[in-house]
């Protein structure tokens, strides 16, 4: 489909006025008459049998309305379903109950729920529930969990293996047999805690007369929440309404439906009064999904001239104690398909082992699988460059998929839509003056100054995605989007989307699309999302799909509206339909511009329907159900420049340049904002963030005092450069930008630090690269080599 | 999070506060700015059946000069200290320290006395309090007494304050003499903002430029803040070149019961103590050479 | 035992009897219904609950309502006057200083205090003073731009920031 739109205007966001005046409606802001408050007692142990559970003291507490245990909900709430079941992967799906029945399997597993007249009383009552636990052996790390003799979590998952999944292309064994050079590295993608600033929560209201459940829920995808809630509660899907108006960040953690959500719904129905449950942050740390957590063994085969010929990956993905909703899809399809990155690597093989451990369930966190893939290949390219003593720029260029090769079918069988990898790399190199930096690096090293330059030339798969592909991958849902555009009699428009933007700005960009298509002023367009009673269906906001898929549905619905309006204009102007010219909200007759009707005139006439052409229905409203024909493949080049203080191990990011190509851009301001935030999270992983469990399975980084969510002094200024290579797969020509920053940045930072420390013989570091880790790596390297490079003058 | 129930009193006279602290069964705690205590109570890691809020006792708040010292009331906030021209002129080391505590909001509420009485091993103030040889005044039912900084900190989260005693003020000898310089440097915990290691250094030069006196306090590294005696004596009378500073700084962790946590091991803390001591001394020396109170 | 408190919030006086353990943030949100002030953590790191207490930015989850007895409090709901956005709000809007918006009220209230203290902050000073306000969406870059812009505008119009009483400097 031809791309005809020219967007590119940094329109101020339509969603902001309510957000900056304190008038937004996040879930915790909902207050209903008679509302009660729920709190959840969570297991203090990572693995234990519950031998006694006595709620009588708590129940007698004044203000306590009910206390529920696993036995109370047994048979009334079904286990939490897993919604991604990769085919041919022998996946085990052990029951994941909203409250444990007899065994708890991670610190934070639900044991009981208290409902009381105030949140304070509910939390007081938690201390009055008497539980005896018989502790069981604990395993938290995935390679330990699959080792012989490890504690077993689930009877039906021997060896704690949830699944073994494979993907490959070409002939990887021959590639390695014939390789002139092979580089190997064990890579640990540490576990991250998403930490959306708003914790999760639900307010549930039961209408006994109608038999209807209304749930205000912090969800990225209210329709999926409706679907899952129906499965768990047994309430028919058409008797459930989910509302998620303002959501305070998600980053993947608000895709799943959680036990707490279902307990809130259960309690509201049992008690016949509204119930609110909002996580504390401490609770969020243990009860909301975590991200990443891979251990990878990676091998890269190449010829001496730098041509990469093969890639072999074995990855152990820690899935936590139970399968979160999309968990099995993240380390498989969203990871394995992208390990060859932007390079022509003809032979590859990926083996992924999903592993149960006594930890919080792991699921999608911004990028979801693709950061793990991009990190892997970009890290390996640097290691190969070191091995071959090649400049990492030259090595990358040698292996890039050429811009003439698109659409390019990779060994993974994915078809990359469009790209020009040399162009984005050129721009990034120019922006930092790469040659000058290399000269400075060489000079500095003589004086004990450690400057590092890190590259990341990434490509990602976004715009999820064709529903047929979803089905083929075992995703238990579709990935299409509906849209409705309704123009009212007064010329004001309502636009309905099944995606649920929560910070990404689509209340604005979608209005820009419709405004441009129909010639309506943007302030006359209201974008409605986050309410299953208003929007027919939707698969939500994640996977950088909101604009690529939801926006495409909208532009096609808007075009239908315009077509109808054009026909009505022809009728009213007594002209032939083919003689109507549309320009900026005016329908005029070819050759006589004065004979015209505005879109507002047409909206009025369509809505009153006094004079419709033969066979035309009244109203000015159209819907479109859009299913993309392919994924999109945003790409770019990021360069991070660091100075490392070898005395203290501190890493200072001197410059960060991000060149991103997410196809055509509707709102540059918003696109840049997405890149800033994504890069910040990627830098967070590289330098600051990491969940740590102790041997007993306690999350010792379980609060914002221990787990570093980067603050304003820890994130540098990010220089953004946009290039626009249109995507041919959707009518907007865009690719999506929500995850690029996170996918691209972590490896740029690690590559920079490894580059800085090359004089010590250091070529790889684990994350987060805390001062101690950097310092220790340097000290170890010094000891091993017995030599010391120049030290800084004091 | 939600604190458990407690009784609350906010006396306006110190005598009433002391009386309240005597007369209660159960756990009585003194509430000053609340920036350490309230988070602990919310997490139900600290509990108190009664809180005595000393924030409304006027005599406990304020800054005054007293000869060669500055006296700061216990409930004086960090923000008050930063806003004080007197402190800035006479004890610049305290300003250097306080501006690195917590964040803007914490500095609005947090108090010098509350922090010292809480004696968190990652607190910043102890290093400075020790380096300046401050004196604490405490009031109890038996009257008031003065406690030297060296005797004040007795261990992790413990001080020599007795049950029922309230820290009322801190007296800091002024540092605005000739050829005197000071600096506070810290390695900040990236999440909590506490001092993983914090070093306060004061250097006074003799007329010939050699070291007349050096005083160094180290916090964060160990279970309690300490003076780095080995560093101080290694500098005494020496010409202060880089090699001398580095050599002296190598004693920085001596005698410390080094802490270890997932962010920083004992070994790394010991190493940081040395690096930061070297750098703090260098900064203090530069300021001492730059002129009085620099 | 409940205790009586009297506070002035955004210029309006309120008298209530509250439990001593009631946090100021819960008093504002649940008793007064001012839900623009958010709760993001338990431990005082995130700053989403930042309000002005007698002109100074504080984290209202680390203050008891009873401690605020007699105080003047400003929240995000009091920033705009007569429907006109405060220059800080305008700057956050124009510079895209927010995405999900959850941390934003706290960041803006901290900004009021920051700019009252230092009307001409450098970017580095802005970052240092906002260290106690965590944002997971923006990477802080446009927050810094918004604060810088607000400062410039407020200087240009020489208008005192709304809701901040003249600061009595402690000496």
Q: What is the DSSP code string of C44-75?
A: S-S-TTEEEETTEEEEGGGSBGGGGTT-EEE-
How high is the pLDDT of residue A138? 98
- Number of domains forming the structure of chain B: 3
B73 assigned to some structural domain: yes
B236 assigned to some structural domain: yes
Residue B100, both tokens: 């690195």
User: pLDDT > 90: what percent of chain B?
Assistant: 93
B26 assigned to some structural domain: yes
- The helix/strand/coil state of B79 is helix
Q: Of B129, B151, B172, which one is at a domain's C-terminal end? A: B172
The CA distance from C166 to the nearest CA of chain A, in Å, is 23
Cβ–Cβ < 8 Å for B116, B152: yes
| Pairwise CB contact (< 8 Å): B262 & A707 | no
How high is the pLDDT of residue A1? 33
Contact list, B98 vs chain C (CB under 8 Å): none
Q: Which of A477, A372, A424 is nearest to A660 (CA)?
A: A424
Q: What is the DSSP code string of A226-255?
A: HHHHHHHH---GGGEEEE--S----TTTTS
* DSSP H helices in chain C: 24-26, 87-94, 104-117, 123-129, 141-157
The CA distance from B4 to the nearest CA of chain A, in Å, is 7
| Pairwise CB contact (< 8 Å): A124 & B5 | yes
Task: Give the architecture (CATH level 2) of C3-77.
Answer: Roll (3.10)
Cβ–Cβ < 8 Å for A510, A493: no
Is C169 a residue whose pLDDT tops 60? no
B155 assigned to some structural domain: yes
Domain range for B207: 180-289
Q: Of B120, B152, B172, which one is at a domain's C-terminal end? A: B172
Cβ–Cβ < 8 Å for A253, A241: no
Q: Which of B209, A669, A222 is nearest to A230 (CA)?
A: A222
User: pLDDT > 70: what percent of chain C?
Assistant: 92
Interchain CB contact of B109 with C (< 8 Å): yes
The CA distance from B57 to the nearest CA of chain C, in Å, is 13
How high is the pLDDT of residue A7? 74
> In the complex, which subunits touch C with 3 or more CB pairs below 8 angstroms?
A, B
CA dist., res. B288 & res. B212, Å (int): 11
- Please, what are the domains in chain A? 480-626 (3.30.365.10)
Domain CATH code at residue B281: 3.30.390.50
- The H or E element spanning position A370 is helix A370-388
Residue limits of CATH 3.10.20.30 in chain C: 3-77
CA dist., res. A89 & res. A635, Å (int): 30
CA dist., res. A370 & res. A636, Å (int): 14
Is B137 in the same domain as B237?
Answer: no
Contact list, C144 vs chain A (CB under 8 Å): 712, 717
| Pairwise CB contact (< 8 Å): C45 & B102 | no
Interchain CB contact of C139 with B (< 8 Å): no
Strand partners, C154: none
| Pairwise CB contact (< 8 Å): B190 & A688 | yes
User: Which B positions 140-169 lie with beta carbon below 8 A of chain A?
Assistant: none
Interchain CB contact of C168 with B (< 8 Å): no
| Pairwise CB contact (< 8 Å): A123 & B1 | yes
The CA distance from A771 to the nearest CA of chain B, in Å, is 9
Strand-strand pairing, A48-54 and A103-104: antiparallel
Residue A491: half-sphere exposure toward Cβ, Cα within 13 Å: 16
Residue A88, both tokens: 């041919």
Q: What is the DSSP code string of A609-649?
A: -SSPPTTPPSS-EEEEEE--SS-B--EEEEEEEEEEETTTT
Cβ–Cβ < 8 Å for A711, C41: no
Mutation target to probe the B interface, by most B beta carbons within 10 A, among C26, C59, C70, C110 is: C59
Residues 6+ apart with CB under 8 A from A532: A222, A223, A226, A240, A241, A242, A243
B210 assigned to some structural domain: yes
ipTM > 0.90?
yes
Cβ–Cβ < 8 Å for C112, C55: no
Strand-strand pairing, B166-173 and C3-9: unpaired
Question: Does the bond joining A460 to the residue before it have cis omega, within 30 degrees of 0?
Answer: no
| Pairwise CB contact (< 8 Å): C127 & A31 | no
B106 assigned to some structural domain: yes
B2 assigned to some structural domain: no
Interchain CB contact of B262 with A (< 8 Å): yes
Is B149 in the same domain as B221?
Answer: no
Class of domain C87-157: mainly alpha
Is B73 in the same domain as B36?
Answer: no
Interchain CB contact of B79 with C (< 8 Å): yes
Average pLDDT over residues C20-37: 98
User: Which C positions 72-111 lie with beta carbon below 8 A of chain A?
Assistant: 75-77, 79-80, 85, 89, 92-94, 96, 98-105, 108
Q: Of B126, B144, B172, which one is at a domain's C-terminal end? A: B172
Q: Which of A670, A671, A635 is nearest to A744 (CA)?
A: A635
How high is the pLDDT of residue B291? 55
B1 assigned to some structural domain: no
Is B121 in the same domain as B69?
Answer: yes
CA dist., res. B85 & res. A664, Å (int): 56
Mutation target to probe the A interface, by most A beta carbons within 10 A, among B271, B274, B279 is: B271
Strand partners, A38: A115
CA dist., res. A658 & res. A637, Å (int): 6
Contact list, A673 vs chain C (CB under 8 Å): 96, 99, 137-138, 142
Buried b or exposed e, range A453-483, using 16+ CB within 10 angstroms: bbbbbbbbbbbbbbbebbeebbbbbbbbbbb
Burial class of B31 by CB neighbour count within 10 A (0 to 12, 13 to 18, 19+): buried
What separation in angstroms does the CA of B220 have from each of A28, A701, B203? 38, 19, 21
| Pairwise CB contact (< 8 Å): C58 & B85 | no
Is C115 a residue whose pLDDT tops 70? yes
- Given a cut of 70, the residues of chain A with pLDDT beneath it are 1-6, 787-794
How high is the pLDDT of residue B1? 85
| Pairwise CB contact (< 8 Å): C59 & B106 | yes
Scanning the structure block, which residue is given the tokens 């190997």?
Answer: A184
CA dist., res. A407 & res. A149, Å (int): 49
| Pairwise CB contact (< 8 Å): B262 & A772 | no
Residue limits of CATH 1.10.150.120 in chain C: 87-157
| Pairwise CB contact (< 8 Å): C114 & B104 | yes
| Pairwise CB contact (< 8 Å): A673 & C130 | no
Cβ–Cβ < 8 Å for B284, B215: no
Interchain CB contact of B10 with C (< 8 Å): yes
Q: Which of B239, B241, B240, B247 is nearest to B274 (CA)?
A: B247
How high is the pLDDT of residue B24? 66
| Pairwise CB contact (< 8 Å): C92 & A20 | yes
- Given a cut of 50, the residues of chain B with pLDDT beneath it are 292-294
> In the complex, which subunits touch A with 3 or more CB pairs below 8 angstroms?
B, C
């Amino acid at each position: 489909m031809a791309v005809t739109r020219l967007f590119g205007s940094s329109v101020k966001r339509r969603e902001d006025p309510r957000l900056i005046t304190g008038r937004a409606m996040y879930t915790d802001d909902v207050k209903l008459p008679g509302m009660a408050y729920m709190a959840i007692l969570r297991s203090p142990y990572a693995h234990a049998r519950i031998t006694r559970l006595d709620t009588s003291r708590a129940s007698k507490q004044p203000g306590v309305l009910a206390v529920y245990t696993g036995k109370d909900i047994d048979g009334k709430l079904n286990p939490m379903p897993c919604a991604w079941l990769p085919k041919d992967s022998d996946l085990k799906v052990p029951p994941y109950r909203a409250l444990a029945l007899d065994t708890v399997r991670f610190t934070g597993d639900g044991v009981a729920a208290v409902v009381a007249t105030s949140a304070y009383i509910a939390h007081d009552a938690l201390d009055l529930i008497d539980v005896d636990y018989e502790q069981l052996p604990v395993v938290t790390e995935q390679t330990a969990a699959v080792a012989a003799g490890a504690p077993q979590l689930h009877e039906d998952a021997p060896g704690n293996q949830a699944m073994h999944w494979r993907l490959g292309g070409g002939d990887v064994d021959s590639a390695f047999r014939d390789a002139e050079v092979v580089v190997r590295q064990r890579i640990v993608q540490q576990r991250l805690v998403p930490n959306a600033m708003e914790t999760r929560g639900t307010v549930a209201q039961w209408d006994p007369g109608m038999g209807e459940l209304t749930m205000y829920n912090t969800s990225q995808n209210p329709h999926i929440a409706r679907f899952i809630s129906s499965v768990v509660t047994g309430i028919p899907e058409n008797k459930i309404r989910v509302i998620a108006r303002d959501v305070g960040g998600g980053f993947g953690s608000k895709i799943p439906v959680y036990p707490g959500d279902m307990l809130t719904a259960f309690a509201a129905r049992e008690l016949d009064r509204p119930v609110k449950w909002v996580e504390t942050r401490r609770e969020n740390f243990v009860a909301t999904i975590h991200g990443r957590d891979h251990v990878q063994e990676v091998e890269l085969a190449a010829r001496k001239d730098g041509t990469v010929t093969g890639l072999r990956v074995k990855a152990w993905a820690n899935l936590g104690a139970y399968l979160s909703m999309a968990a099995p899809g993240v380390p498989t399809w969203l990871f394995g398909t992208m390990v060859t990155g932007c390079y022509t690597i003809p032979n590859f093989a990926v083996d992924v082992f999903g592993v149960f451990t006594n930890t919080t369930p792991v699921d999608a966190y911004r990028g979801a699988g693709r950061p793990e893939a991009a990190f892997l290949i970009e890290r390996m390219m640097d290691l190969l460059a070191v091995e071959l003593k090649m400049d990492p720029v030259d090595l990358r260029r040698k292996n890039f998929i050429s811009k003439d090769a698109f659409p390019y079918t990779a060994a993974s069988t994915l078809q990359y839509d469009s790209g020009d990898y040399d162009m984005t790399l050129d721009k990034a190199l120019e922006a930092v003056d790469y040659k000058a930096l290399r000269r400075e690096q060489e000079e500095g090293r003589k004086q004990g100054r450690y400057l590092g330059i890190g590259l990341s030339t990434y490509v990602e798969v976004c715009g999820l995605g064709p529903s047929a592909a979803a089905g083929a991958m075992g995703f238990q849902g579709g990935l299409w989007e509906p849209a409705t555009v309704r123009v009212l009699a007064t010329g004001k428009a309502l636009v309905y989307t099944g995606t649920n933007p929560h910070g990404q700005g689509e209340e604005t960009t979608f209005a820009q699309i419709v405004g441009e298509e129909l010639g309506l002023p943007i302030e006359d367009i209201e974008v409605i999302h986050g309410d299953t009673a208003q929007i027919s269906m939707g698969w939500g906001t994640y996977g950088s799909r909101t604009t690529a898929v939801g926006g495409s549905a909208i532009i096609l619905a808007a075009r239908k509206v315009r077509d109808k309006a054009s026909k009505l204009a022809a009728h009213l102007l007594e002209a032939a339909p083919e003689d109507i010219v549309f320009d900026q909200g005016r329908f005029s007759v070819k050759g006589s511009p004065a004979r015209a009707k505005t879109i507002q005139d047409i909206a009025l006439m369509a809505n009153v329907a006094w004079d419709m052409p033969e066979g035309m229905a009244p109203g000015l409203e159209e819907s479109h159900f859009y299913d993309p024909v392919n994924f999109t493949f945003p790409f770019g080049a990021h360069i991070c420049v660091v100075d490392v203080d070898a005395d203290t191990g501190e890493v200072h990011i001197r410059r960060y340049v991000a060149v991103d190509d997410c196809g055509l851009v509707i709102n540059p301001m918003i696109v840049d904002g997405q890149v800033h935030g994504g890069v910040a999270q990627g830098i967070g992983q590289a330098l600051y963030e990491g969940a740590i469990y102790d041997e007993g399975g306690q999350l010792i980084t379980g609060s914002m005092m221990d787990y570093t969510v980067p603050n304003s002094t820890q994130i540098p200024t990010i220089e953004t450069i946009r290039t626009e290579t249109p995507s041919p797969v959707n009518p907007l020509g865009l690719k999506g930008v929500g995850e690029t920053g996170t996918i691209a940045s972590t490896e740029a930072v690690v590559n920079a630090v490894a580059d800085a420390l090359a004089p010590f013989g250091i070529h790889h570091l684990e994350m987060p690269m805390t001062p101690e880790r950097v310092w220790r790596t340097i000290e170890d390297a010094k000891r091993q080599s017995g030599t010391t490079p120049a030290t800084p003058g004091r | 999070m939600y604190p458990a129930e407690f009784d609350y009193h906010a006396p306006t006279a110190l005598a009433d506060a002391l009386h309240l602290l005597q007369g209660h069964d159960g756990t009585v705690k003194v509430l000053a700015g609340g920036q350490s205590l309230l988070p602990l109570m919310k997490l139900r890691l600290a509990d108190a059946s009664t809180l005595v809020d000393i924030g409304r006792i006027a005599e406990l708040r304020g800054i005054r000069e007293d000869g060669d010292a500055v006296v700061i009331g216990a409930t004086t906030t960090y923000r008050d200290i930063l806003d004080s021209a007197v402190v800035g002129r006479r004890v610049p080391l305290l300003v250097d320290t306080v501006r690195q505590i917590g964040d803007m909001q914490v500095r609005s509420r947090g108090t010098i006395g509350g922090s010292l009485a809480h004696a968190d091993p990652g607190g910043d103030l102890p290093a400075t309090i020790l380096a300046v040889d401050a004196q604490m005044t405490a009031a109890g039912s038996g009257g008031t007494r003065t406690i030297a900084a060296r005797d004040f900190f007795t261990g992790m989260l413990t001080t020599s304050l007795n049950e029922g005693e309230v820290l009322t003020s801190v007296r800091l000898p002024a540092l605005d003499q000739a050829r005197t310089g000071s600096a506070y440097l810290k390695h900040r915990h990236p999440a909590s903002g506490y001092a993983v290691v914090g070093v306060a250094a004061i250097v006074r030069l003799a007329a010939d430029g050699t070291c007349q006196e050096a005083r160094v306090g180290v916090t964060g590294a160990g279970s309690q803040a300490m003076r780095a005696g080995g560093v101080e004596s290694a500098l005494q009378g020496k010409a202060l070149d880089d090699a001398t500073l580095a050599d002296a700084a190598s004693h920085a962790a001596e005698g410390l019961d080094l802490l270890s946590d997932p962010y920083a091991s004992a070994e790394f803390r010991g190493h940081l103590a040395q690096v930061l001591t070297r750098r703090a001394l260098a900064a203090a020396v530069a300021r001492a050479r730059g002129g009085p109170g620099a | 035992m409940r205790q009586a408190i009297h506070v002035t919030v955004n210029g309006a006086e309120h008298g209530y009897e509250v439990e001593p353990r009631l946090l100021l943030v819960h008093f504002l949100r649940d008793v007064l219904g001012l839900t623009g002030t958010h709760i993001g953590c338990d431990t005082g790191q995130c700053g989403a609950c930042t309000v002005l207490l007698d002109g100074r930015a504080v984290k209202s989850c680390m203050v008891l309502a009873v401690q605020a007895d007699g105080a003047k409090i400003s929240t995000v709901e009091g920033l705009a006057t007569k429907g006109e956005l405060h220059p800080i709000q305008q700057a956050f809007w124009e510079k895209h200083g927010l995405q999900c918006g959850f941390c934003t009220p706290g960041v803006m209230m901290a900004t009021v205090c920051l700019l009252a203290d230092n009307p001409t902050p450098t970017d580095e000073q802005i970052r240092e003073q906002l260290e106690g306000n965590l944002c997971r969406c923006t990477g802080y870059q446009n927050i810094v731009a918004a604060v810088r812009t607000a400062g410039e505008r407020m200087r240009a119009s020489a208008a005192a920031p709304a809701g901040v009483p003249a600061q009595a400097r402690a000496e």
